[in-house]
Amino acid sequence: MYEAEIAKRKTFAVIAHPDAGKTTLTEKLLLFGGAILVAGAVKSNKIKKATTSDFMEIEKQRGISVATSVMSFEYREKLINILDTPGHKDFAEDTYRTLTAVDSVILVIDCVKGVEEQTKRLMEVCRMRDTPVIIFVNKMDRDGKDPFDLLTELETLLKISVQPLSWPISMGSNFKGVYNLYNQTLNLFRAGAQKVLDDMIQVEDLNDPSLDKQIGEREAAQLREDIELINGVYEPFSKEHYSNGLLAPVFFGSAVNNFGVQELLDTFVNIAPNPVGRPTNLRTIEPTDPKFTGFVFKIHANLDPKHRDRIAFMRVCSGKFERNKFFYHVRNNKEMRFSNPTSFMASQKNIIDEAYPGDVIGLYDSGNFKIGDTMSEGEKLQFKGIPSFSPEIFKEIINTDPLKTKQLNKGVEQLTDEGVAQLFRQEVGMRQIVGTVGELQFEVIQYRLLHEYGASCRFQHVQYYKACWMVSEDEKQLNDFIKFKANHIYRDKDGNLVFMAESSWLLDVAIKDYPKIKFTPIPNLKFNSQFLKWARNKMNFLVMVC
């Protein structure tokens, strides 16, 4: 029973550069899976409804995802858990944390723009973890790059072997459908943005003369030539290479018009991995381990603004989670039980009685959880690889409505718990500084403070170069530095000392003049030096906590 439940589950994230069609594809996967009846039609002016996975009001207004959302549905006797992630680079840390909670990824590529900057960054993170990746080349109903040129670009820029498992029949206004190389069937579609159409035409033999009548003689001849070339160049698909993160199967389609989505979903169900093990500071936790373990990778305040709820998103890694059963919170060293654990369909929540490895569940939280926290059945372990971030942009919070000071402080406290921003309080003054890795995050925080907490504020830029956490065994030298740099000493929400360096030169001077103080870009945590070196070179702000 237990192993059968594990075998049913497929947990993956949909990732992409902004505007590649990631959220639209997520909706169409839900549509084909029967989880929803009508998609949001993101780009339709006639349908004034946002996508299912974009549930925050600012997401609906801006047409972008700024937070990961979780959706579950059953398809072909499998339980599919989709995590739709933000595409915008200013919210990348939410995406990177989400990648620690999934077993595979679908990467969406715009056929017109090809591989973009954020695409490469996301792929690098996937390759570090050897995460299996399926690539969906979207928007084939537009005139874009030649499919063979795209395959070359994918291999060259993403540095991974690729293999097409479906192939488009022309593109742009002449786009007719896709041929599925995985099961050698041809599916022709009509455009239908909102509902799944049942009148698919299947042709199992490409040499069937009826194919010429269905798609035209020229398109049929081109398709036969393309498939012959593909079969000559590529070896038979290796599921093992895909599972090891060495090979990325490629599908072509148009999510907004339902082209190629079902081929993607059907093949995903067949080849995507079931829940896999997760490393901890003690050992690798396997899904089949009998005792429950899980970790928190996301916290979201006001998922339902009417109830002011705070939800901790937890990935179940092993054992069986049960409602109302006591589990051990490792960091807080205390037992906790949960009377209302939930599963998700974006902002819609359903109370569950149990959950198994691969599931993502929501735990109502009154402030007990932090990102990276581990739950177990008594074992003191810590899951590795939950990213932490060194902020790059710093702004002071200016309260524009003193009568709402209490609401402002509460809102800032809760929103910075989500991990997209960090809060620093000045030791000798009243300044509160918010640090982020992206400018757009300030707009989101300001919007949410006003609409979720009724607190009005503005952000004023402050000229800081880096936030550096400080530790030292030499108390005298540490106190001397604090006195010397009093106006630049802050504490984070956990009370840790932070030096706000105004420039790289002043930071270097501090390091040289106070050699017994250790300055780190994250709180007092051990980290993987190889990953830190890679992060500084590639991304400049991401640090993997080990």
Q: What CATH number is given to the structural domain containing 328? A: 3.40.50.300
Q: Quote the tokens at residue 492.
A: 């984070």
Examine residue 435 and state whether it is found in any structural domain, yes or no. Answer: yes
351 shares a domain with 396? no
137 shares a domain with 14? yes
pTM: 0.81
pLDDT on residue 296 = 95
460 shares a domain with 330? no
Examine residue 382 and state whether it is found in any structural domain, yes or no. Answer: no
pLDDT on residue 89 = 64
3 state SS of 81:
strand
237 shares a domain with 307? no
Flag whether pLDDT at 534 surpasses 50.
Answer: no
Q: Quote the tokens at residue 233.
A: 């160049």
Instruction: Kindly report the CATH number assigned to the domain that includes residue 447.
Output: 3.30.70.3280
Examine residue 381 and state whether it is found in any structural domain, yes or no. Answer: no
pLDDT on residue 496 = 92
3 state SS of 475:
helix
410 shares a domain with 525? yes
Examine residue 105 and state whether it is found in any structural domain, yes or no. Answer: yes
Residues with Cβ within 8 Å of 45's Cβ and at least 6 positions away in sequence, in order, are none
Q: Quote the tokens at residue 79.
A: 């339980």
Q: Quote the tokens at residue 453.
A: 């907490």
488 shares a domain with 370? no
Mean pLDDT of the region 51-80: 64
Examine residue 426 and state whether it is found in any structural domain, yes or no. Answer: yes
What's the pLDDT tens digit per position in 139-198? Answer: 998 999 999 999 999 999 999 999 999 999 988 888 888 888 887 777 775 655 445 554
DSSP states of 5-72: HHHHEEEEEEEESTTSSHHHHHHHHHHHTTS-SS---TT-SS-----TT--SHHHHHHTS--S-EEEE
Q: Quote the tokens at residue 384.
A: 């590795």
469 shares a domain with 424? yes
423 shares a domain with 356? no
Flag whether pLDDT at 345 surpasses 50.
Answer: yes
Flag whether pLDDT at 539 surpasses 50.
Answer: no
Query: What's the rounded Cα separation, in Å, for the pair 21 and 537?
Result: 29
Examine residue 54 and state whether it is found in any structural domain, yes or no. Answer: yes
End residue of a domain, out of 376, 399, 420? 376
412 shares a domain with 266? no
pLDDT on residue 87 = 55
Q: Within the chain, how many helices (H) and strands (E) appear?
A: 15, 33
End residue of a domain, out of 252, 271, 290? 271
- 294 vs 85, higher pLDDT: 294
CB 113 within 8 A of CB 33: no
Q: Tell me which of 241-250, 343-352, 482-491 is least confident.
A: 343-352
pLDDT on residue 262 = 86
End residue of a domain, out of 271, 298, 323? 271
Query: What's the domain count of the chain?
Result: 3
| Arithmetic mean of pLDDT over the chain | 84
State which residues form the domain around 219. 2-271
What's the pLDDT tens digit per position in 475-491? Answer: 999 999 999 999 999 99
Query: What's the rounded Cα separation, in Å, for the pair 139 and 171?
Result: 9
CB 437 within 8 A of CB 90: yes
Q: How many CB atoms lie within 10 A of CB 250?
A: 23
pLDDT on residue 204 = 67
347 shares a domain with 208? no
Mean pLDDT of the region 340-345: 82
Examine residue 228 and state whether it is found in any structural domain, yes or no. Answer: yes
368 shares a domain with 229? no
324 shares a domain with 191? no
